[in-house]
Amino acid sequence: MAKTGDDFFRDRIEKIFREKELILDIGGGLRIDPEKNNRAKENKWLDPYLVNVRYRVLDKVPDYRPDIVGDIHHLPLEDDSFDAVICISVLEHVEEPQQAMKEVRRVLKPGGYCFLYVPFLYYYHPMKGYYGDFYRFTRDGVRHLVKDFREVEMQNVRGAIATVAHLVPFAGRFEWPFRALDRIFGKERSGQTSGYHVFCVK
């Protein structure tokens, strides 16, 4: 098991890009495509893998120049069409997350991988005119969302102390001492976490 949420994220995303070819990123949350003005410096470590995969971004509006425009509730894709689906920070913004996950599973090939991030103790973050902010997910809620997958792994994103700090304006910018306190006091696996990374196999 990965030691931290960051370790889990890197390990499972690397596994997807190492083992799968056709990858769908719903919402573009991985932020690795410079052509879409959506590039996160912290994910540059994925660059060597990009030459061997077909990476596609889906969004519900064309504003961010996705490869596919579509609604996660009714994906405009054939059954069993993708090797992997990445869905980071999306499900809290959709009206029917259970229906969205049925669609994600439908478009995955048998044996396909799915990587999710969903928030639990996290601040309100809609984008006016684009999406609302409807849900938060407990560990039990996550299990229900992915109940139809045959393998499921979950990892806390932050421990209890870092989670509280992240909710305080400006304190979240200096997380490392709070993460250290989580390690010292054994709070990294607390049920009070800011969210979950989830890795599933269809």
The reported pLDDT for the residue numbered 124 is 92
Asked if residue 51 belongs to a domain, the reply is yes
Number of domains in the chain: 1
How deeply is 131 buried, as exposed, middle or buried, from its count of CB atoms within 10 A (0-12, 13-18, 19+)? middle
CATH of the domain at 139: 3.40.50.150
Residue 175 lies in a domain: no
Q: Read off the pLDDT of each residue in 133-145 and give the average, rounded to a whole number.
A: 97
Cβ neighbours around 54 below 10 Å, total: 13
Within-domain flag for 179: no
47 φ/ψ angles, rounded to the nearest 5 degrees: -50, -45
Place of tokens 């054939």: 78
pTM of the model: 0.90
DSSP for residue 148: T
Domain that holds residue 135: 5-158+192-201
Q: How far apart are CA 44 and CA 41, in angstroms?
A: 5
- Report yes or no on 129 lying in a domain: yes
The predicted-structure confidence for 27-81, as pLDDT tens digits, reads as follows: 998 877 756 656 667 778 888 888 899 999 999 999 888 999 999 999 999 999 9
Q: Is residue 69 part of a domain?
A: yes
The mean of the pLDDT values for the chain is 88
127 forms beta bridges with: 131
pLDDT tier, 136 (very low <50, low <70, confident <90, very high otherwise): very high
Q: At what angle do helices 176-184 and 160-167 cross, to 10 degrees?
A: 150
Q: Which pLDDT belongs to residue 38?
A: 60
The answer to whether residue 40 is domain-embedded is: yes
Q: Does some domain include residue 26?
A: yes
Q: Is the pLDDT of residue 172 over 80?
A: no
pLDDT at 181: 58
Instruction: Return the pLDDT at 2.
Output: 54
Mean pLDDT within 183-198: 77
Whether residue 163 is contained in a domain is answered as no
**Element housing 85 (H / E):** strand 82-88
